[in-house]
Structures are given as structure tokens and as C-alpha cells.
Amino acid sequence: MQLTVSGLPVFIYTGGQSFTPAQPVVVLLHGAAHDHSVWNFQARHLARHGFSILAPDLPGHGRSGGAPLASIEALADWLAALLDAAGVRHAAIAGHSMGSLVALQAAAQFPDRITQLILLGSVAPMPVAAPLLSAARDDRATAHAMINQWSYTFASQLGASAVPGISLTGLNRRLMERQGDNVLATDLGACNAYEGGLAAAVAVRCPTLLLCAERDQMTPRRAVKPLHEALAGVADRARMISIPRAGHAMLAEAPDAVGNAIRSFLTRH
């Protein structure tokens, strides 16, 4: 599905089903140097269980036009414009890694529009290691290797996959290679510079789910505690679930567990 948002073309995956704003709408936001395809399994799963799916390629990513936006706040504003373009007044938002910061900021900034919030692989603040920031600017191949090493479990490094015959790390490397030259550096810079996460969490009013991977090296569960406490301090509806045997790339390493957790949360609320 194609939409025009702020004058630029945006590609949106709808989970293989026709998009119907009359059904409950779920927006799925990808992370740094990724596109909608990281959500393919979960998008199809939710679309076949009564939800209308909007899984966009963020500006400058995948098949969407324009340049990547340089701040989380700008991406949150863009998300509101996307909902307007799709004719959607209310939606649940799920975001992974960088996408989780966008979802968090949007939930705080537009509380009358966001009905549920799902944060996967999220911490606030989300500092990025200086060597990775440097490599993202000057040596993308090295940056991609670092991300794969930190995002996937040892089993995935050795070739284990929920989909037989698929190399998860190889697939992720090719996905990052397909993005524009400055996309990864811009995305990581936006994550590193975003300082409003805990303040945004205090402003969130909707039911919230945090999905933390048991073996996440990039956003480990212990680092999620400040964000969880900020969310739970406002309302007692902020729940945290651990996804076993998965790393930061939980969408790929534990697709069933992630999809079932999201659907269960959306159905319950």
C-alpha cells in the first residue's frame, strides 16, 4: 500500500490483508537501518486475527521517499501525519528498538490517539556506543557486523533459525546494506540524542506492554527498569514480559512468542 505523507511517498505493508480503518488499527514501527519487513510475521499474524495493520517504511528507509528524519520527536510528528493520511483517528502502536522510542514519544505527545503502546527492545535513554556511532558514519560493513554480533544470540550466529534454511544474520546484513549511505548513522544518532524518554513515559496514559528478550545485549532487561518504573508510576497497567532464548532481534529469533504476546495484550485491552 502506498500513501503520501507530508508530500512524500510512503510504502506500508498491511500484513497481506486489505487495510480497513473500521477495524482496530495497529502500527508497527521498525528499528534503525531496517524497514517494514522485520515485522512480516507479526503483521501477517495480527492481520489474520482481526486487526488492520500499518507497517510503514520510515522516511528514507526501504521503499519510502525522502531523507531519514534526524530526531525521535520529528519521527513522532511524522507518525501522526501518517495516521491522518491513512484516515485513522485511534491506533495501537508497537515499536522495536528505535521504533520503540518513536512509539513512546507519540504516545506521550498524542494521548488521545494512541490506544495501546507496545515497546520491544526498549530502554530510555538509549545511548549508542561511540565505536558503533563512528563505524556507522565511516565504515558501514563494520557497523553491520557489530550490530549482528550484539543483536543475535550465539545460536543464531551459528545458523539456528525459526525459519529453516534462513540465515538470520545474513538476512539482517543484506537488509541494512540496502539502506542509503547515511540511514544507519542518522538513526543511531537520533537514538543517542533522544533525552526525553523517561519524561514521555510519565506522560503516557494508555495500557503499555514492554517485551524484553532474555538474552538481549543491546537493551538488556536490567536497563529497562527505569523505563518500566516511569511507566508503572503513572498507571498500574504497564506490564513487562520476557521473551526466552532470544536476543535484541526478537522479532526474527522468536516470531511466534512475540506475535502471541502482542495479540494477547491487544485483545485483553
Q: How far apart are CA 129 and CA 188, in angstroms?
A: 10
**Listed residue (213, 206, 268, 201) closest to 240, CA to CA:** 213
Average predicted confidence (pLDDT) for the chain = 96
Query: What's the 3-state SS for the chain?
Result: CEEEECCEEEEEECCCCCCCCCCCEEEEECCCCCCHHHHHHHHHHHHCCCCEEEEECCCCCCCCCCCCCCCHHHHHHHHHHHHHHHCCCCEEEEEECHHHHHHHHHHHHCCCCEEEEEEECCCCCCCCCHHHHHHHHHCHHHHHHHHHHHHCCHHHHCCCCCCCCCCHHHHHHHHHHCCCCCHHHHHHHHHHHCCCHHHHHHHCCCCEEEEEECCCCCCCHHHHHHHHHHHHCCCCCEEEEEECCCCCCHHHHCHHHHHHHHHHHHHHC
**What is the sign, positive or negative, of the torsion defined by CA atoms of 247, 155, 258, 29?**
positive
The tens digit of pLDDT for each residue in 117-148 reads 999 999 999 999 999 999 999 999 999 999 99
Averaged pLDDT for residues 99-128? 97
C-alpha cell at 142: 563494520
Tell me: cis bond preceding 125? Omega within 30 of 0 counts. Answer: yes
Asked if pLDDT for residue 66 goes beyond 80, the answer is yes
The domain 2-126+193-268 having CATH identifier 3.30.2290.10: the answer here is: no
Asked if pLDDT for residue 236 goes beyond 70, the answer is no
Is 5 exposed, middle or buried (CB count within 10 Å of its CB: 0-12, 13-18, 19+)? buried
The pLDDT, as a whole number, for residue 21 is 92
Asked if pLDDT for residue 234 goes beyond 80, the answer is no
The tens digit of pLDDT for each residue in 148-198 reads 999 999 999 999 998 888 999 999 999 999 999 999 999 999 999 999 999
Q: How far apart are CA 43 and CA 29, in angstroms?
A: 11
Q: Which residue's C-alpha cell is 508497527?
A: 28
Percent pLDDT > 70 in the chain is 99
Q: Which residues of 216-225 are buried (b: 16+ CB within 10 A; e: fewer)?
A: bebbbbebbe
The pLDDT, as a whole number, for residue 235 is 56
Least confident of 105-119, 123-137, 213-227, 229-243: 229-243
The tens digit of pLDDT for each residue in 237-265 reads 789 999 999 999 999 999 999 999 999 99
**Which has the higher per-residue pLDDT, 252 or 235?**
252
